[in-house]
Amino acid sequence: MYRERASRIPGAVVWARTLEPGAVAPVLPDGCMDLLWRDGELLVAGPDTRAYVPDAATGPRYAGVRFAPGAGPAALGVPAHELRDRRVPLAALWPGAEVRRAAERIGQAPDPAAALEALALARAGEPDPLMRAVAARLAEGRPVAETAAAVGLGARQLHRRSLDAFGYGPKTLARVLRLQRALALVWRGVPYAEAALAAGCADQAHLAREMRALTGTTLSGYARAAKSATPTPSGSWSVA
């Protein structure tokens, strides 16, 4: 069972999920970072450049705070590129004693997701407004060069600041967000070719190549899985 709601942290989503035995499926790249609670353990999921498949042996109860692209570093205190394609214990980033107390408090709470959100809210800083503008423009499908000019950054400056904010360069973020736009349409039943053009791909073949490159699966595979599961807002249907 999966449920979610908007967080009190601007742009973030609070979610919770209980997995049935064997209910493990890939988490697709979405440009986001998550603060996770997993049956008593606190973790951080960094930004992905490829699909991530959770260990089937992990616990069944999860809660998470999914930060908007570029907002995770301000809350977690670490540049996003240091966590790219990684899941790390929160104790590797924050003082261990503080993390142990927080994990115990969240585990005893009637609503672990709400308690996790409170922890994130207490730490949440103000994201870089320039990078927030970059993410918003790329999410709309604006070209990277146009985005750089609009925010007043050179190509190298934009790339360097994007590594810290998003975990990868603006071109990769643009690809990830374009794929997410397309998958949101596919999940709603829009034909592949129409979804590809609406999302900003050249054609259906372009979208299919991006799907394979970023997720390791196919559009038809995603569509089949989406029919039998509840995807998250980021187009995946499992835990982070």
| Domain locations along the chain | 2-123, 129-227
For residue 27, the model assigns a pLDDT of 85
In angstroms, rounded to a whole number, what is the distance separating the alpha carbons of residues 106 and 132?
30
For residue 17, the model assigns a pLDDT of 87
DSSP characters for 162-196? HHHHHSS-HHHHHHHHHHHHHHHHHHTT--HHHHH
The residue among 27 and 135 whose pLDDT is bigger is 135
In angstroms, rounded to a whole number, what is the distance separating the alpha carbons of residues 15 and 59?
16
Q: How many C-beta atoms lie closer than 10 Å to residue 239's C-beta?
A: 27
Q: What is the pLDDT of residues 188-224, one digit of tens each?
A: 889 999 999 999 999 999 999 999 999 988 988 887 7
Mean pLDDT over residues 47-67, rounded?
83
Strand partners, 205: none
pTM of the complete model: 0.89
The residue among 220 and 105 whose pLDDT is bigger is 105
Mean pLDDT for the chain overall: 89
Q: Which CATH class is domain 129-227?
A: mainly alpha
In terms of C-beta density within 10 A (0-12 exposed, 13-18 middle, 19 or more buried), how is residue 126 classed?
exposed
Going by pLDDT thresholds of 50, 70 and 90, the confidence category of residue 57 is low
Going by pLDDT thresholds of 50, 70 and 90, the confidence category of residue 39 is confident
Flag whether pLDDT at 238 surpasses 70.
Answer: no
Flag whether pLDDT at 240 surpasses 70.
Answer: no
Flag whether pLDDT at 227 surpasses 80.
Answer: no
Mean pLDDT over residues 52-65, rounded?
77
